[in-house]
């Protein structure tokens, strides 16, 4: 058992939640298992002797308060975040503890910024949404690539995934997004998010080796379009996803990720290419690693570690690139994600 601070993990029994629990233990924290399903919590607790399990529904504030009692921070891993983010943030504010989530839901992240920015600032609280592979990593990479630039014209984040087998949580959050958007899609242009009805473009993206040039779905937007413009003066943020991965994640018959090692990681690999442009000049950050769900755990846990140890640049509600020293944070991820930053 760890001897460090207790950290509540809401949605601890989910696919990503289990990685977060394991990584907290590796880092010396004491995870407190929390979530909505008592049966799944009991099963997880039975496989993790010595850990406290606390059932709490998001529509039961008193139960959420009990779930967070005595903890130093909470990591919300329970999607859809459209349903869980606000209630768990409210509970964290009542408890006076930092809140971190791994939400890749664009609209849920927009709602978090809209509803809690002023309240977090007034309370001196720390709230970090989208501290995950989608949203947090791209924001850190773009911020590191910016370097000494104070503004840029465009940010492009291209995702080169070898495959994308969605978890049950990914499918649930995708369903919520489809319900909110209908037949429309989102893009970030001219300094704002907008809905559009035109066809999603397909183009070639020049990934660094070993991927090289690959067909990608353009405007396959992720939480980067919320996190990056929340603090960087960039009017255009564009996302791209390798065509094969985009088709897999949306296909109804694609199986869930299959573990291929003792840590539960899948064989999926990724290369993320972040390009920042100002005029005719480009700066780039490239990240390589394995299993997008597994690497969310070190991102979220490193965030909690830095918040609790006072290694932050801001208080209130802030994305990863604003609240943390981006280059230093990325270096700390080196056992899990290899990142190269090129300022040209």
CATH number at residue 33: 3.40.50.720
Does 315 lie in the same domain as 266? no
Task: Note if the pTM is more than 0.95.
Answer: yes
Phi, psi of 35 (to 5 degrees): 170, 180
Burial class of residue 271 (count of CB atoms within 10 Å of its CB; 0-12, 13-18, 19+) = buried
Contact between residue 208 and residue 286 where contact means Cβ atoms under 8 Å apart: yes
**Is residue 37 in some structural domain?**
yes
Does 254 lie in the same domain as 305? no
pLDDT of residue 175: 87
Segment 142-158 shows an average pLDDT of 97
Does 332 lie in the same domain as 317? no
Residue 180: domain span: 134-292+326-342
Cis, peptide link before residue 80, omega less than 30° from 0: yes
**Is residue 69 in some structural domain?**
yes
Q: What letters, b where the CB count within 10 A reaches 16 and e where it falls short, cover 233-244?
A: ebebbbbbbbee
Helices 106-123, 81-95: inter-axial angle, 10-degree rounding: 10
Q: What percent of the chain is modeled with pLDDT above 90?
A: 92
Other C-beta atoms closer than 10 Å to the C-beta of 328 total: 12
Contact between residue 266 and residue 254 where contact means Cβ atoms under 8 Å apart: no
Does 272 lie in the same domain as 165? yes
**Is residue 1 in some structural domain?**
no
**Is residue 213 in some structural domain?**
yes
The CATH number assigned to the domain holding 145 equals: 3.30.360
pLDDT digits (tens, 9 = 90+) for 109-134: 999 999 999 999 999 999 999 999 99
pLDDT of residue 177: 84
Segment 277-288 shows an average pLDDT of 98
pLDDT of residue 140: 98
Does 181 lie in the same domain as 162? yes
Question: How many domains does the chain fold into?
Answer: 2
Q: What angle do CA 210, 164, 208 make, to 5 degrees?
A: 20
pLDDT of residue 1: 56
Residues 6+ apart with CB under 8 A from 82: 105, 107, 108, 111, 173, 176, 180
Does 317 lie in the same domain as 233? no
Does 313 lie in the same domain as 220? no
Does 276 lie in the same domain as 185? yes
Does 244 lie in the same domain as 200? yes
**Is residue 268 in some structural domain?**
yes
Does 232 lie in the same domain as 164? yes
**Is residue 230 in some structural domain?**
yes
Segment 204-230 shows an average pLDDT of 96
Does 181 lie in the same domain as 53? no
Does 124 lie in the same domain as 14? yes
Q: What angle do CA 260, 300, 164 make, to 5 degrees?
A: 40
Question: Would you say residue 89 has pLDDT above 60?
Answer: yes
Measured distance CA(219)–CA(168) in Å, rounded: 24
What mean pLDDT, rounded, does the chain reach? Answer: 96
Q: What percent of the chain is modeled with pLDDT above 70?
A: 99
pLDDT of residue 41: 97
Tokens of 11: 């949605």
């Amino acid at each position: 058992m760890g001897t460090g601070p207790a950290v509540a993990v809401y949605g601890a029994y989910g696919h990503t939640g289990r990685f977060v629990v394991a990584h907290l233990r590796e880092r010396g924290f004491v995870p407190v298992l929390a979530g909505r399903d008592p049966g799944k919590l009991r099963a997880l607790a039975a496989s993790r002797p010595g850990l406290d399990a606390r059932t709490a529904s998001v529509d039961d504030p008193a139960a959420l308060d009990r779930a967070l009692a005595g903890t130093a921070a909470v990591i919300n891993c329970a999607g859809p975040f459209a349903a869980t983010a606000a209630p768990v943030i409210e509970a964290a504010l009542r408890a006076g503890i930092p809140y971190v989530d791994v939400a890749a839901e664009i609209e849920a992240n927009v709602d978090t910024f809209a509803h809690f920015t002023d309240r977090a600032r007034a309370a001196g609280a720390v709230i970090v949404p989208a501290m995950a592979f989608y949203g947090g990593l791209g924001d850190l990479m773009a911020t590191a690539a910016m370097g000494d630039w104070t503004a840029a014209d465009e940010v492009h984040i291209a995702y080169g995934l070898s495959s994308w087998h969605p978890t049950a949580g990914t499918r649930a959050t995708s369903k919520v997004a489809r319900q909110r958007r209908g037949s429309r899609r989102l893009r970030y242009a001219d300094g704002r998010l907008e809905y559009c009805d035109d066809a999603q473009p397909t183009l070639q993206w020049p990934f660094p080796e070993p991927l090289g040039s690959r067909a990608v779905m353009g405007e396959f937007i992720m939480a980067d379009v919320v996190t990056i413009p929340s603090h960087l003066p960039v009017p255009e943020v564009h996302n791209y996803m390798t065509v094969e991965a985009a088709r897999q994640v949306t296909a109804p018959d694609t199986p869930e990720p299959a573990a291929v090692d003792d840590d539960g990681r899948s064989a999926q690999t990724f290369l993320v290419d972040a390009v920042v442009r100002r005029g005719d000049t480009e700066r780039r950050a490239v990240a390589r690693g394995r299993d997008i769900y597994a690497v969310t755990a070190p991102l979220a846990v490193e965030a909690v570690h830095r918040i609790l140890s006072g290694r932050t640049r801001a208080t209130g509600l802030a994305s990863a690139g604003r609240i943390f020293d981006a280059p230093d944070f990325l270096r700390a991820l080196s056992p899990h994600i290899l990142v190269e930053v090129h300022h040209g």
